[in-house]
Amino acid sequence: MKQSFTCSICGAKTRGFGNNPDPVVTIPDARCCDSCNRDYVIKARILMIGLIDAARSPKKNRQSTRTE
Ligand SMILES: [Zn+2]
């Protein structure tokens, strides 16, 4: 059984189940096509993982507030 959906990123009508576009589009039940998934969603996820790592790691340096 084939499904079709409208890509929530590029607006193309596409056959198939699509991909979860989060974090590019965070609307519930939104789908995106394979090409947008590859070009935007995967890159956005890689960027977000990098941002999360960057947000976590500097805390080590911020603890250098001296209370002596
Ligand atoms: Zn698309």
Domain-wise residue ranges, the chain = 4-58
Q: How far is the CA of 20 from the centre of ligand 1 (A)?
A: 11
* Segment 7-62, tens digit of pLDDT: 999 999 999 999 999 999 999 999 999 999 999 999 999 999 999 999 999 766 66
Task: Give this prediction's pTM.
Answer: 0.73
- Residue 49, number of CB atoms within 10 A of its CB: 10
Residue 67's pLDDT is what? 67
Reported confidence tier of residue 2, pLDDT bands at 50, 70, 90: confident
Q: What angle do CA 63, 58, 67 make, to 5 degrees?
A: 10
First vs last C-alpha separation in the chain: 70
Q: Per-residue pLDDT for 63 more than 80?
A: no
Q: What angle do CA 36, 16, 22 make, to 5 degrees?
A: 40
Q: How far is the CA of 54 from the centre of ligand 1 (A)?
A: 29
Between 42 and 2, whose confidence is greater? Answer: 42
